[in-house]
Structure 1
Amino acid sequence: MIPRRVFGDLRSITNIYLTKEQSPQATGALILLHGSGDNGDCFRLTVDHLLNGRACFPHIKIIYPSAWTIPYSPSGGIPVPTWFDVSGYAMEAEENEAELRVATRDLLQIIDKLGAEGIPRNRIVIGGFSRGGAMAAHLALCSAPDLAGVGVMSSWIPSTSNFYQCFPENLNRGRSPQLLQMHGDDDDLIDPSLAQQTFAKLRSLGVHGNFLTYPGQNHEVSRQELEDFFSFVSKLVPE
């Protein structure tokens, strides 16, 4: 764990965990965001376990932030660690925009700190699982379109979200990270159709990317999914 104060005044992030690159100096970075009810350290351990201890790169540092604990509507309003609230698991759901703005500001501070260390935005990828995937999509496509890429695992963006109004301006300026969206076809929490509708909408608006489906996978992270995502990151941020 590294001190939060290194990245400035963070409100939505409680802890930050780091997997160091294998070389003396990182030239790229990957920010991975956990899902609701999880934290950065547990997510780090899960990813490392699923990849048999190979959740690292020779030149890319991996950062696992932990989100604040806030009331979460899908769990009946019980406070859980999550990035921002959403009213339910549907295309008509409402997102908490105030919480989203705070989390975006904090993650941008981490990105700016990486820039001060010599890692440019076009060598940074952000990804996340479930609510973390939605957070990653919001950040990359709306607020940091000069990132190299974004990975969205088992998540979606409601049709009511302001997200669909903010990022087309970036596309018009020729700025958009590559998207890799992944979803299990047996997800009983976030229906695969929600992810498919999101991806179709993004493609229709000009986002470039791919959608991968994992047969028999529920609402979880799988080894194959992580291997696909880490390969995606390696191609976008080569040594």
Structure 2
Amino acid sequence: MNMAAVKLQTSVVSQAGKHTASVIFLHGSGDTGPGLRRWVYDVLGQNLAFENIRVIYPTAPARPYTPMRGAQSHVWFDRHKISQDCPEHLESIDSMCENLSAIVQEEIRAGIPKHRMLIGGFSMGGAMALHLVCRYHQDVAGIFALSSFLNKDSVVYQAVEDASQCPPLPELLQCHGTADELVFHRWGEETNSLLKKAGLNTSFHSIPDLNHQLCRQELELLRSWILKKLSL
């Protein structure tokens, strides 16, 4: 299935005033942009909204997903299986990087330079954001990854190592619940450690007793970080 040249649907929380920066927030596997936007609203009691920052929630097209025995699901890329140790499904990852790059270009056309953009996501969305930024858009203001991990042999690590020869690289904010599926929190920590070793400026926040989900503490931390990175 060729996923190239797909125009992604987006759900947008517009800025209240003049548009001077943008956040692209990618959902987890099986979700949608509107679904993530509603989830954030339910946790915070309001939208993740700002005076000058537009927040964009794209939706991954439905595609056959191998861990679900080929059933259609809204996923950013395919996985051979959910494991740190297997090879990445680079064909699907690379085609989705192309599709998401079109959203970056739309924001540039709207007058927003890349150093005024943040890209991140929840779970698979965070992994997708790491591929997109570290391999193709290293000049954005930062990356965030919530409950996310990369495979041990991810091409992202080499991309970061190569780019670290000519810094600056974007800063990574990573958050993970300590109660997340026994191994996922450890995978997230290992991902952060390997990215830091490769040359990325990273921070890792463990959220006590949080499962594979969002919480208010995490989203308030994210909101503060967005304001810090994109303040004029």
Instruction: State which of 186, 196, 205 in structure 2 corresponds to 1:193.
Output: 186
Q: Matches of 2:220 and 2:145 in 1, distance apart?
A: 14
Q: Secondary structure at the match of 2:154?
A: coil
Instruction: State which of 106, 118, 123 in structure 1 corresponds to 2:116.
Output: 123
CA RMSD of aligned residues (A): 1.6
Which residue identity does 1:195 align to in structure 2?
G
Which 4+ runs in 1 deviate beyond 4 A? Answer: none
Which residue of 1 is the match for residue 174 of structure 2? 181
Instruction: Give, in angstroms, the shift of residue 12 of structure 1.
Output: 4.6
Q: Matches of 2:32 and 2:140 in 1, distance apart?
A: 24
Instruction: Give, in angstroms, the shift of residue 166 of structure 1.
Output: 2.1
The normalised TM-score by structure 2 is 0.94
Which residue identity does 2:9 align to in structure 1?
N
Q: Matches of 1:211 and 1:183 in 2, distance apart?
A: 8
Which ranges in structure 2 are unaligned for 5 or more consecutive residues? Answer: none
Which residue of 1 is the match for residue 142 of structure 2? 149
State whether structure 2 residue 42 is matched by structure 1 residue 15. Answer: no
Query: 2:158·2:198 contact (CA, 8 Å) conserved in 1?
Result: no
Which residue of 1 is the match for residue 62 of structure 2? 69
Instruction: Give, in angstroms, the shift of residue 14 of structure 1.
Output: 4.0
Q: Matches of 1:75 and 1:176 in 2, distance apart?
A: 35
Q: 1:58-117 CA deviation, whole Å, 9 max, x = no partner? A: 000000000011122222322210100122332202221111111111111111121121
Q: Matches of 1:45 and 1:190 in 2, distance apart?
A: 28
Which residue identity does 1:130 align to in structure 2?
S
Query: 1:154·1:190 contact (CA, 8 Å) conserved in 2?
Result: no
State whether structure 2 residue 105 is matched by structure 1 residue 112. Answer: yes
Q: Matches of 1:155 and 1:32 in 2, distance apart?
A: 13
Query: 1:74·1:86 contact (CA, 8 Å) conserved in 2?
Result: yes
State whether structure 2 residue 53 is matched by structure 1 residue 60. Answer: yes
Q: Secondary structure at the match of 1:151?
A: strand
The normalised TM-score by structure 1 is 0.91
Which residue identity does 1:202 align to in structure 2?
L
Moved more, 142-151 or 188-197: 188-197
Instruction: State which of 132, 135, 139 in structure 1 corresponds to 2:132.
Output: 139
Q: How many residues are treated as equivalent by the alignment?
A: 230
Q: Matches of 2:28 and 2:121 in 1, distance apart?
A: 7
Q: Secondary structure at the match of 2:59?
A: strand
Q: Secondary structure at the match of 1:67?
A: coil
Q: Matches of 1:121 and 1:127 in 2, distance apart?
A: 14
